[in-house]
Structure 1
Amino acid sequence: MIVAKLLVAFCLFLNGCFGSVEFYPYGPSHGDEYAPINDDGSSPEIPISTLFPFFNHQHEHLIVNTNGVISFLRTVSTYTPNPFPLDGDRRLVAIFWADVDTRKGGTVWYRESTNQTMLEMASQEVRNYFPSFFRFQATWVFIATWDNVAFYGCYPCEKRNTFQEILITNGQYSFTIFNYKNITWTTGTASGGNSSTGLGGTPAQVGFNAGDGKVFYAVNASRTPAILGINHMSNINIPGKFAFRIDSAEISNGGCNTHGTLTIAPRYGPMLGGQYFVVGGPCMNSDDIIYIHYSPLVTSFPCQRMSNYSALCITPVFNTTVNPALFNNPVKRHNPAEWYGGRQYTISWDPLAFELKDSDKERGFKILPWEKSILHENVDRNLAQFTLNLGSDGYMAAIRVTSAIETDLSIPERGIWTDIFAVVPSHQETKRFCYNWIRQERGLPLVTYDDLPPCPCTLQQALMDTARYQPDPDCNNLMDNKDPDLNCLYRASARHCIRLSQPGFLGQDNVCCYGNTGSLLDSRVEEGGTLQRYHYLGGDDVIPYVTNFYYDVLPFLHCCRYFGHVTDLGHRGVTLFSECQTYAKFRHVSSCYNYVPPRPAGANGDPHMRTVDGMEYNFNGIGEFFFIVSHNASFQSQVRFEQAKDSQGRFVSASVCTAFVAEMSNTSDRVEVRLNSIRVADVIINAQTQDFSDVAWLRYRGVSVLNLPKPTGNSTGRDILVMFADLGVTFRILATKDVLNVMPIIANDQLKGTLTGLLGDFDGNPGNDLLLPDGTSLQSNATEETIFRTFNTAWRIKEVGSMFTYPVGKSYQDYNGHAQSNFHPVFATSIINSATVEAISLCGNNTNCLFDFHVTGSRAIAMATLDFTVDLKDAEDASIPVPTCPILSSTDHGVWVSNNTLENATARFRCNMGYRENSTCRPTTCKNGRWENYQPCTCKEIPTVPPPPSTHTTPTGRTPPPATPRDDSLLLRSISDKLQLMWITVGTGVFVVVIIALITALVLCSKFRSRRQYSDCDKHTLSSSARSSEYRHNMSRGFPMSHDSAYTQSSRVLSDHSANSRRSLPRYNVYDNTAYGSSEEVTRITGPPPGDFRRHDVLF
């Protein structure tokens, strides 16, 4: 298979060209060296100070050849350019491959450089010609110049050529620039050229060759007379200039075109908006007006043309980009634990952030109304730090730093954000929020464990169960994209938390948190996890993250953390007030009762297999095979094994996994993970390579991919989770530069007995796991050679059934041809007792590690096997069910306290502050799934003199005026598009914007399908207030819609709340088809709700 790419590139002067060629400085005054004066010679092999990526290989040296070529593996002395593709390791860049003879005149100069001026010049060219790399920063350049060179056999040698090649890299991506000045000859006389003109014969060749005899890229004028006009051609519309990306298996053109696809970078940004991104692809003239449309918004927004190749656009606030929990916030809050309203706090940011660069005035359309006031101005952006006065109005906020440009708010402003955080209000406001929330919860469906899986019982199980749960982005010890000061900010007792991978019943979530001992935390007495009304991923009419934060996180903070003081009675966290226990009754403490762990399996090293049922065997085949397949093929996964290489790059009689692919037919995207010599591994979705440089977590149709930090002790590895949450299956892939080791995690019991492939049938019987496609199986004691010869044919995929994409120059036959089918491996039985001292020192008594080191000679492969074996053993241990007891229910003003609910755990009853036990309560112990000698306990109030009312003072010591009462009782069942913003103008370059009380979500009764609560919810909704009926009457007479409006599928929400108002969020009264909002002040209750507001039917 020969893969050719021919470039047709021509640019007519005065017609669509964007500039002229500018050479990089060269010559002895700039530190250049020169190649020996010769014919068909070259420079010495030049060690370079960085690895240079080219055609998916890293190179640590290069050669400058006299005949217009830079090569990487060997010299090129051929004077007549052979047509591409070429084999024999002739991996090269040919800027003008022809018969140059510097004995007749001219010099070949070269140098590598890390000079800052050169690096910035190169970086700017890459950013300009490749808009998707608008943040690219070069770390190394190499400049080679063929200056005024003559050709072989010339007479009188007056024809001379001058051209220059620039190699550019940042260590991961690489580019080259071709600059042509004078091109007057194309051919030496030994290639059939004329000695006077240098024309005729076999002219010069321009392009790239991979050296494998298959893959190449050539300018289509190569080896034709037209190559004489190369200094008038271009692929970036600058005559005599070309730009290419050359690190990957396929060479990419720079510049723009009239037929290419649109490019966008970065591909992801925060849903709060303000993201600076660059659009490229089509050529953009100076008089073009550029608009962009964001789905699902109906409005198009203007963008700013940056150059002929790109335009700058800014994202608005919407809920389809990266969830705030998954985005690494570039604005840092200092000491973020508790930010009190009305006090001063410091933020800091990167002053060089692209979002803060100057720009022209912007125009566009209003999307969301907000309240704003300028608090400060004339603060130097370059200080990268600012102390602000945090407003006291509102419960949650985010701070934006943005460029100090004038704007009419008609398009989204660009900027960078802090995290979304809770504003700590006065104690009076905390009580009001908590009591309102309790009152509101009474009218909503219960948050229950119905159809939600229980929590894993231990941290070890939580780390393993990635099939049902994912790390909580706000509190975990795995992901490194989180500011350490923000990690577990609102779950102070937790070391690690997990939450459901996708919304559960009615869009609910289950958050499970684990303390330093690895036990599941009880949120009644420690800050751990609970059930959640809303999943942080959002859903239909539910805004991601913000809704969960407002309805689930803030109630905990206001009813527990902020409501009263915590007192130590020999145990942690029994609160002074009972409101926290009430919160726990509405949100249910996390429980692991009846938890069933998933089953792990594995394939690693020179493939050592462990089936889902636990059988171990070695499979040494080469090719592409079925890995795990459901009986009806609704789900398939496949693996590719290739012949391994030793540490010197020589092939050995062993095989390793190099690629993995999986898909749920018609319900998910196809995910492929493939080794990459530069980036370790690539994640490929539907044949498109994904970029994880800006975000660690990406969700696709029916599947999510999480790129975890590098494994401990492995500076180059990657840990990738491919999660099919609907199926209940996750694949953990540990990648090194030599091998992919794959660990499936299966949590779906409905798959039992329905699987086939290399990892067995998951029926609980390991004895029949050497399964064949016809339903029969090999004996469990079959020899390695029998397994190899049988499985090598039985489970090999057919070309028509392959789900893999193939690298440039490769096809199915390259991995499943005659050579692969007839490969003969080394079997473990043939090397018993042959371990060397070095192997034992590395592997200890790990037989898989010892085997892999023996057959591959690679310490890296053996070490990866050892690490994987330890991880798989941990997963096996975690898959063993742990005996547990149910959580003991609380009573009024009392709670059972225990470190965990595992076997032999002891629970003790404690009363809240101000209460004591009615009678002595004996401890109870968990035995065989039951609490031994358990008896109900109650508390009674201790008569006390009530303390004087507390006050909240401002930093100046003055007591603030009483806050205007608020009643947000209907807020939880409505939409509020109202945003209250305070922005701060910051001098030569920034605004700081604080969003107070962000978007809340639509919570309509029709969205709650609870069988017990539906009718009550409907009745409650239809009986709102007298004011509502007045609005309905006005609307029936044609009441006009204000500019503050929002639509949903089932309702319309209107608000007469002025965008300039400083009042609280509007109230919304929700009806079947139309909802009306009012913002008038009403009488509000700040005390506890009357009557018994606690649910005694909730057991937890």
Structure 2
Amino acid sequence: MGLLVFSAFLVAHTLVLVYHGAVAQFPPQLDPNEGVRTDFQPSPFNILTGFEPRPPGTGVNPDGQAFRISGQNLKTIDWTTIDRRAEEGWWHLYQFGERYYDIDITWRPWRDLQVDLDFFLPFYGFRFNYTFVFPEGFVAFSYPHYIQPPYTMPNRHWPDEPDSSLVAAFMSEQSFVHVGDTRLSHVWYRVVSRPITADLCWSDVAPELAGHRIPTRTYAGQQLKTAYGRIEDPELLDIITRDIQHGMVGARGFKADYALIVTWERMGYGGAPKITELNLYDTVKKWQNTYQMVIATDEIRTYVMFNYANVNWTSSTQAGALFGRGGKQSAMVGFNGGNGTGWYSLPWSADGNSYKLVQYGSTQVAGRWLARVDEEIEYGGCSNNSIGILQLDKPQATMLGGFTLNVTGPCFRITDVLKMQIDENTLDCERLDMVMARCVVPVNSIFKTGQVIIRLSVDGGKNYPWWNKFYVLMPSLARRHVNLINDPVALKNNWRSFNPDNLTLTWPNYNISVNPNAQVDITLWGYWEDVLGHSFVEVGSIARNTPNRGSYSFNPRTLAKTDMMRDAWRQFSGGLVQVRVSQDWMKDRGDGIYWSDLVPFGWYFHDVWQYQLGSNWATDMCIDWFQYDGRRENFYMFLENKQPCPCTLDQAMVDIGRYVALSDCDINGDHRCYYTQGAQHCVVATRSVWTGAGQVCCYDWQGWLMFSQDFEFNDQYLRFYSAGVPYRAHPWGSFPYKRPPYVPSLSNFYNDLLPYEYCCKWAGHCEFYFWRRMTSGCQDYRPPAVGYIYGEGHMITYDGTRYTFNGKGYYVLTMLKSRSNNMMVQVRMEQPPKTMWNTNVLATAVTGVAAQDNDSAIVEIYARKEFRRWRYKTDVYVDNARVFFDTPWQKLQTFKGVTIRSRPRNMNMSELEVMFDTGLGLVVEEARGTLNVIVSVPPEYNETYAYRTDTYGYPRTEPATGIFGTGKCANFYRTMGLLGTFNNDKRDDLTTPDCNVVNTNYPASEIEARNVYYEFGERWRADGIRHQLLFQTKFQPIYNPISFASSHYQPIFDPWRNQNATFWESLIFSREEVQVTCQGSPSCEFDYLTTGRREIGIDTLMNERKFEELKRLGEKKTISCGPLQKNIGVLKYPPGNSYLDGVTVTFTCQPEYFLHGDQQRTCINGTWSPGWWPWCRWRDEEYALKWFTGIIVSLLILGAIIAIFWYCNSLKKQKQKQRGRPYAIGSYAPRTIKDPNLAKSAHNQSHQLPPTVQEPQKIGNTHNGRTAMPRFSETTA
């Protein structure tokens, strides 16, 4: 054994005990004269009315009554005036005994008592309105099944034997100790409630002022109900609430409305001898155990507090102990969930060192232990361990920062240097007390979302042994404490308007600061980014040093902008409103900072923009953005082919893995649709392309895809039609998150939403926005394939085959292993609860599903068991960590390679969507303790040839392989499993891992059903050898562990056989009733007959029909021709149209326009019929052009006529002129002579021609001035 070294010292009335380098720190024994804990001091509240504390050194009180209780004065004591804590100084116990209207169950014959509660008590997922108090040191919610120690928790023989839900403060065989005929031991209990009509605010009345001496008690002028065992005491509940909040992180919002206080006073160990000598009273009473249990709840959260005053024995004689020590098993301390849900023990449970429960504690009070137990057991307070899980006061916070984290894990010493790492940031933390430390995450420190690791160091950053997971929320989905109120009457007073007259905002003023006189600053934080970096800074303020009243109204027109950031109007046009404590918010013990939603700052910069840019400032800003965005990288070319929009709403709803509902335009949730007016539903791609862009597609109320190309270019049209457009920045952001355009929410707001405000809302020129953000078509869209497992093992495969498989255990639902994908989805199938005639159901249903794709996180979803479904229907684990989706800001969470979403209006986690980055999607729906699972696989998961290219990259010819044999499995990548083989061929759906094909019909005969069970289904069992098991069975129990592990199970194959009918069945329903109810559905009939429950059969029928319609419409392959461009004034009929194959579109013009181009176009096999694009011309312009054309044509015709007339007239004049002239004789060109001699002779002769040839002469002979006409006419040749 090693040397145990202790050192103790007092620091500020605090005892610090150092043991092996670890510290357990708590106040020393409280003296009633000291003012350390006023609520535990002797006072009119907890001792006697008018009773003064005894003077130091005296043993007699001023009224003469002996302070110490001994055997000599037992008969004379008035116990209704005595505080039983005073004698021993048990001030960390809450008041108990006769004086406080407790009931002592010692007088009951069997020494246990059922206590009916007037409220619901959540415990370990269950909810109870009753409890049983046992003298053996525990409170149970059903009679436990135990005979003698040692006890095993949980009961290994459950459900054949009960496994009781219980809270054990010191569970052991115990006895009521007597000295003579005087009983020392008592078991007290009382139920405390808060008066219904009492003020809901915290009481400012000191506990000492409350009187409990007489039954007539009042509080704040209201009479309180008082009865033995049940009282109204708001002050005591306030004290309990305060102690819980000081002892455990995350309890600040908790307020105890009800409490059950049970006190075991001076209990002896089981088998203790009876003391007959009365003079041994003082000695005997010191060697008994005294402890207390306090269960406090608000009917949502439940906390359990153990207060140990004295522990002198640890086990009973029945456990083999000798004089209360040793034995097989010491007293058990902890929580048993019951019904196989598990056991959680506290330190020294079933350990021989149970007496240390008094010396130590998880809170700042020695002997006090605390835990939260409503849903899962959360250990409260601190620990002396050197490594462990860090407890946080909140599981998530916004990416913007400016929040505080109260943490606990190790017990903090005064000399500790605390540092915390969150993501890539290292922060200094402040020690608040031994249990808690406060760490402040500043603004602008985190720019990513999802799970991050938080680590804590107590040695200045040398080691970080304490850690936990923390979720960072994107700003658009985070909880908004600052509410920007839009006036519902004066619509102009809207935070998105640029010229409101009055704006109002509110915030929870009671949480932002602990100082009631605190003042706050209301500031504006703007966001800006370019291609290189981003900026998130304070650009101005609304008010400074204003009282913290929780609301503020102002007129933006008269708002002083003296502290506006220089030239902020040039860059920052939107951001958030921040409310923070004025005086150094980081040192305030409240929340310190609150944020609003993202909002444009048109109302703040309006006058500056108008002064700097002129009256058309909005149009100028729109055009500037239009030109700037056009110079950036063309993200559309990468998005169009990678993420085409589904053509119809039905396809979008089925495509679970690739698309998810847009948060602010969801048919099942928030339906504001501010940026997509007229849409019934919008979806956004679950992942971005490499540029950071994301696809958004919206659908009208007929289910057709809305196109921005159909937008009418006027500001009125925007009120009821605004199509979904692709975003340059995905709303969720994407890796690496910290630089644009990948910053979650903020990049999307700056690049895609603010331009909508500039162009569409402020400038009225939405055409600029839609020219840069054109809706993607669906020409390249290929729908996914969906499979379904529902009811009691009923399957509908990807290719449409139906069959039933009732295996018990873990099975591969679907899997794919290829070069680019390693997908695995497994299900857990077990027998549901027994039938109404108490026989086992010879069929199974899905109670758990686990999935992983590539190296993503492993997602596990379990159906909760009976009586644990009052709050949550399922339990969800991601990489072994439990996650919840019961608050609006937790509805969508992203993890490594996977996103999980719960529908906004679903608060019980009964409908979950799991979306992997690869495009695989799951919908898990809980129904009466079972799970129905839809699996959606993208078209890339279809059967593909594994060897398309050889080692040199040349293509290979796909071999002709039949559906039988091993060739398919060897040469093809195939999606296989219980949901069949995805290759659009039903014949090989039931293919085993060995590539054997099993054939069946629907409904199957008994022989076929047996063949499917043994030759196909059982081959897909996930045994951990052939297929790795994804399930972690330690998390969730199963209905019947004994039956689940049994190898003798054989399902029923034909429930209609007479041998399967029983007499008890006929007393509940007839088989004719089954046929009428199920309307010919074999699945419904199977479930009805095997379970004997009509509601289960109807659920199966409704789910089957719903999925059939979903599969028929969602998998329908559509051919689209893409949107037809139209110009201003063109109207398209019918108005709701997706440009699909066979659709004829008719175009007309508005009354003030004329139509040009072809009036009708038809989509034929993906191509529009030939024709001209339709366009319209303004009627006045048309008239003007027609008149102009008519005038021009008339002038041209008149000019032509004039020209012709002039030409004819000219010819006429020329002819007339030529008639007055003699005829000219044309010259003769001689033939060319090749002989040079002849040529020379001809040349010589040419010089001898007569004059008439060389020079024209007048015709006729001239003689004395008169001309004689020739005898023949000579003309030119």
Q: Into which bin does the TM-score normalised by the smaller protein fall?
A: 0.7 to 0.9
Instruction: Establish whether residue 603 from structure 1 lines up as the match of residue 603 from structure 2.
Output: no
Residues 68, 100 of structure 1: 8 Å contact kept: no
Shift of 1:382: 4.3
Distance 1:829 1:264, change over 3 A: same
CA–CA separation in structure 1 for the residues paired with 2:147 and 2:982: 60
Which residue of 502, 514, 524 maps to 1:344?
502
Amino acid at match of 1:799: G
Query: Are the structure 2 counterparts of residues 293 and 344 from structure 1 closer, same or farther at C-alpha, using a change threshold of 3 Å?
Result: farther
In 1, Cα distance between the equivalents of 2:587 and 2:98?
54
Q: Which of 1107, 1124, 1137 in structure 2 is aligned with 1:872?
A: 1107
Bigger relative contact order, structure 1 or 2, given CA contacts below 8 A and separation 6+?
Answer: 1
- Alignment partner of 1:645: what SS? coil
2:990 matched to 1:770? yes
- In the alignment, is residue 44 of structure 1 matched against residue 111 of structure 2? no
Cα distance, 1:875–1:818 mapped onto 2, change above 3 Å: same
1:1004 corresponds in structure 2 to none
Among 1046, 1051, 1054, which residue is 1:824 paired with?
1051
User: Structure 1 pair 464/808, CA: closer, same or farther in 2 (3 Å)?
Assistant: closer
CA shift digits 1:534-567 (9 cap, x unpaired): 2222344222222222222222332233323xxx
Q: Which position in structure 1 is the counterpart of 2:771?
A: 585
Matches within 5 A, 1:227-376: 227-236=354-363, 238-247=365-374, 252=379, 254-257=381-384, 258-286=386-414, 288-297=416-425, 300-302=427-429, 305=432, 308-317=435-444, 318-320=446-448, 321-335=472-486, 336=494, 338-341=496-499, 343-353=501-511, 370-376=537-543
Give, in angstroms, the shift of residue 252 of structure 1. Answer: 4.2
Find the residue that maps to 1:231 and give its secondary structure.
helix
Q: Distance in 1 between matches of 2:699 and 2:387?
A: 54
- Match among 1130, 1154, 1172 for residue 935 of structure 1: 1172
The answer as to whether partners of 2:788 and 2:933 remain within 8 angstroms in 1 is yes
| Greater mean deviation of Cα atoms: 926-935 or 56-65 | 926-935
Question: 1:22-59: CA deviations, max 9, x gaps?
Answer: 223334554533314258621136456315323x5554
Letter in 2 for 1:718: S
Q: CA deviation at 1:503?
A: 0.8
Alignment-mate amino acid for residue 744 of structure 1? V
The 5-angstrom pairing of residues 423-462 of structure 1 reads 423-424=601-602, 425=606, 428-446=616-634, 447-448=636-637, 449-462=639-652
- The 1:471/1:247 distance shift into structure 2, 3 A limit, reads same
Q: 1:500 aligns with which of 668, 679, 685?
A: 685
- In structure 2, the CA distance between the partners of 1:785 and 1:111, relative to structure 1 (3 Å rule), is farther
1:506-560 C-alpha deviation (Å, 9 max, x unpaired): 3222211122332222222321111222222234422222222222222233223
* Cα distance, 1:438 vs structure 2: 1.9
Matches within 5 A, 1:104-253: 104-115=183-194, 116-138=234-256, 140-149=258-267, 152-155=272-275, 156=277, 158-159=284-285, 160-169=288-297, 171=299, 174-185=302-313, 205-208=331-334, 209=336, 216-218=343-345, 221=348, 226-236=353-363, 238-247=365-374, 252=379
Instruction: Identify which of 849, 854, 859 aligns with 2:1084.
Output: 849
Contact 2:128 2:141 in 1 (8 A): yes
Distance in 1, Cα, partners of 2:514 & 2:1082: 56
C-alpha contact 1:647 1:857 (8 A) present in aligned 2? yes
SS of the residue corresponding to residue 668 of structure 2 reads: coil
Q: Would you say the 8 A contact 2:496–2:599 is kept in 1?
A: no
What is the aligned-residue identity percentage?
Answer: 22
Q: Which residue of 2 aligns with 1:18?
A: 26
TM-score, normalising length: structure 1: 0.74
Cα root mean square deviation, aligned: 4.2
CA distance in 1, matches of 2:941, 2:1155: 49
* 1:662 aligned to which of 851, 856, 866: 851
Q: Distance in 2 between matches of 1:203 and 1:589?
A: 71
1:1038-1049 residue pairs with structure 2 within 5 A?
none
CA displacement at 1:125 relative to structure 2: 4.2
Name 1:406's counterpart in structure 2: 584
**Could you tell me which amino acid in structure 1 is paired with residue 744 of structure 2?**
P
**1:557 partnered with 2:757:** yes
2:467 matched to 1:467? no
- Relative to its length, the structure with more helix (as a share) is 2
User: Residues 709 and 370 of structure 1: is their aligned pair in 2 closer, same or farther, counting only changes over 3 Å?
Assistant: closer
AA aligned to 1:625 is Y
Deviations 1:648-705 (A, max 9, x none): 797422211111111123x311111122344321221111112334411111111111
Q: Which of these residues, 174, 178, 197, is aligned with residue 99 of structure 1?
A: 174
Supply the distance in 2 between the matched residues of 1:763 and 1:68 (Cα, whole angstroms).
63
Letter in 1 for 2:782: V
- Describe the superposition over 1:187-209 as per-residue Cα deviations: whole angstroms up to 9, x where unpaired: 67777778xx8667788513245
Q: TM-score, normalised by structure 2?
A: 0.64
TM-aligned CA deviation for residue 706 of structure 1 = 0.8
Q: Which amino acid aligns with 1:706?
A: R
Distance 1:237 1:489 in 2: 51
Call closer, same or farther: CA 1:340–1:643 in 2, change over 3 Å.
Answer: same
- Structure 1 pair 120–674 and aligned structure 2 pair: CA distance change class (3 A): farther
SS of 1:852's equivalent in the other structure is: helix
SS at 2:935's partner residue?
strand
Deviation sequence 1:389-420 (CA, Å, 0-9, x none): 38795532321223343359999994222211
Is the Cα contact below 8 Å between 2:310 and 2:358 reproduced in 1?
A: yes
- CA positional deviation for 1:175: 3.6
Q: Could you say what secondary structure the match of 2:476 adopts? A: helix
Q: For residues 47 and 757 of structure 1, do their structure 2 counterparts lie closer, same or farther at Cα, with a shift above 3 Å needed?
A: same
Counterpart in 2 of 1:748? 939
Residues 707/134 of structure 1: CA separation in 2 closer, same or farther (3 Å cut)? farther
Distance 1:215 1:742, change over 3 A: closer
- What is the Cα deviation at residue 619 of structure 1? 0.8
> Structure 1 residues 773-782 or 351-360, which shifts more?
351-360
- Quote the offset at 1:358 in angstroms: 7.6
Separation (CA, whole Å) in 2 of partners of 1:841 and 1:353? 59
1:418 to 590, 596, 621: 596
Task: After superposition, give the CA deviation of every residue in 1:929-964 in whole Å (9 maximum; x if it has no partner).
Answer: 4545743233446669xxxxxxxxxxxxxxxxxxxx
Structure 1 residues 625 and 274, CA gap change in structure 2 (3 angstroms):
same
Unaligned runs of 5+ in 2: 9-14, 18-23, 29-90, 195-233, 449-471, 487-493, 526-533, 562-568, 713-720, 945-973, 1062-1068, 1182-1277
User: Aligned partner of 1:746: which letter?
Assistant: V
Q: Aligned partners of 2:516 and 2:1054: how far apart in 1?
A: 65
**Separation in 1 of the partners of 2:340 and 2:1179?**
89
Equivalent residues of 1:899, 1:905 under 8 A apart: no
Report the secondary structure of 2:398's partner residue: coil
Q: Where does residue 667 of structure 2 map in the other structure?
A: 477
Say whether the 8 Å CA contact 2:578–2:595 is kept in structure 1: yes
Aligned equivalents of 2:424 and 2:517: distance in 1?
A: 27
Q: Describe the SS at the equivalent of 2:26.
A: coil
> What is the rounded CA distance, in whole Å, between the counterparts of 2:1117 and 2:924 in structure 1?
24
Cα offset, 1:61, TM superposition: 3.1
Query: Which stretches in structure 1 are left out of the alignment for 5+ residues?
Result: 1-7, 565-578, 945-1100
Letter paired with 1:34: D
**Structure 1 residues 368 and 935: CA distance shift in structure 2, 3 A:** closer
CA contact (8 A) 2:186 2:266 kept: yes
Cα distance in 2 for partners of 1:529, 1:641 equals: 42
Q: 1:388: how far off? A: 6.1
**1:1042 alignment partner in structure 2:** none
Tell me, yes or no, if structure 1 residue 725 matches structure 2 residue 917: yes
CA contact (8 A) 2:707 2:775 kept: yes
Shift of 1:786: 1.9
Q: What is the alpha-carbon distance in structure 2 between the residues aligned to residue 339 and residue 739 of structure 1?
A: 50
Alpha-carbon separation, structure 2, partners of 1:556 and 1:500 = 20
**What is the alpha-carbon distance in structure 1 between the residues aligned to residue 1000 and residue 1075 of structure 2?**
29
| One-letter amino acid matched to 1:673 | I
Instruction: Answer with 1 or 2: which has the greater Rg.
Output: 2
